[in-house]
Amino acid sequence: MKLHDLQPSSGSHEPSRRVGRGHGSGRGKTAGRGTKGQKSRAGGGIPAWFEGGQTPLHIRTPKLHGFKNRFRVEYAGVNLARLTEAAAGTLITPDVLKHDGLLRDRKTRQLPVKILGGGDAPKGVTIHAHAFTRSALAKLSAAGSTAQRISWPEGNPVDEAAEAAEAASIEARDSAKADARARGKAKRKAARGGAPAPSGAPAKGSAATATVDTADAEAESADMEPTAETEPAEETEPTAAAEVAEETEPTAAAEVAAAAETTAEPQPTADAESEVEP
C-alpha cells in the first residue's frame, strides 16, 4: 500500500448539498428557502424563544422571589374552643380528633397536630399533641388540664427534662467554643504586640503609667550599646593615595624649587678670597 492508495471508508464523507444551481438540480431558484419572508432572507431568522408575538414562556412563568425555609414544619391546628365540650378525665389524642372529624382528612399526607390557644380550655382533660402554643399551655394549666407533647411520627411521649438537659448541654458546648475562640484571638493579638492592658493595671496616659514608661526608657538607654558618637574615634589607617604620595619621588616643581635655592646662595668674592688667604 502506498500513500495515494489511502482513502476514507465509503459513506463516511458525504458531499454538501449544492443549492441554487438551476431547476434541474431540484434546489434551484429559491434554493429550498421558499418564496419571500423573514426566513428566506440572508441573515434573517427567528430566535428559539419566539412564540409568534404572544407572551413567551420565560416571561409568563412566575418567579420564586423571597425565601422559603426548607426546615419549616407544617402543622394541623386545632383551637381549644373546639375541645370545650370534652368531659373531665377524657384522653384526647390525634386519633380521637381525627375520628371526631376535628381534623381535616388528608389523603396525601398526615400532618402533626398543634393545639392553638383560641377559646376556653376544657377542664380536667389530658391532651396528647405534637405541639402546643404558649397561650394554649397557659390556659390548660389554669383549667387543671394536662398537656403532653408526643413525637412525630412515632407518637411516643416526649421527656421534657431530657430535652431541657440536652438543650443546656448544647448551649454550654457552644459557649465553651465561643470562649475558646475569644482566648485564641486574645493570644494572637498579644503575640502581635497589641495585647490589651490586664485588669487592675493603671490606665494608659495616667501618672503611674508615665512613671513606668520613664523608668523603662532609662533602663533601655543604660542597656544600649555605645554608638558611633560615644565610641572614641579609631586611628584611621593611611589610605592608598597617601601611601602612594609618600612613596613617589619629588615632582618637577619640587626639582625647580631646589635649583632656585642653589642659585640664590652667595658666591665668595675676590676680596673675601684675599682675606682668607694668608
Q: Cis ω on the peptide bond leading into residue 153 (within 30° of 0)?
A: yes
d(CA 121, CA 130): 17
Q: Sorting pLDDT into bands at 50, 70 and 90, what band is 64?
A: confident
Distance of CA 150 to the CA centre of its chain: 42
* Enclosing domain of residue 115: 76-157
What pTM was estimated for this model as a whole?
Answer: 0.44
Domain boundary among the residues 136, 157, 178 is at 157
Cell output for 249:
619621588
Kindly state whether residues 135 and 111 are assigned to the same domain.
yes
Domain boundary among the residues 118, 134, 157 is at 157
Number of H helices, E strands in the chain: 8, 6
175-200 tens-digit pLDDT: 999 999 999 999 999 998 855 545 54
Distance of CA 229 to the CA centre of its chain: 53
Mean pLDDT calculated for residue range 63-73: 87
Q: Check if the beta carbon of residue 104 is closer than 8 Å to that of residue 78.
A: no
Residues 6 or more apart whose Cβ sits within 8 Å of residue 238: 246
State the amino acid at position 179 in one-letter form.
D
CATH number at residue 148: 3.100.10.10
The least confident of 15-29, 43-57, 209-223 is: 209-223
Asked if residue 247 has pLDDT above 60, the reply is no
How many domains are there within the chain? 2
Kindly state whether residues 141 and 127 are assigned to the same domain.
yes
Nearest Cα to 136, choosing from 76, 79, 94?
79
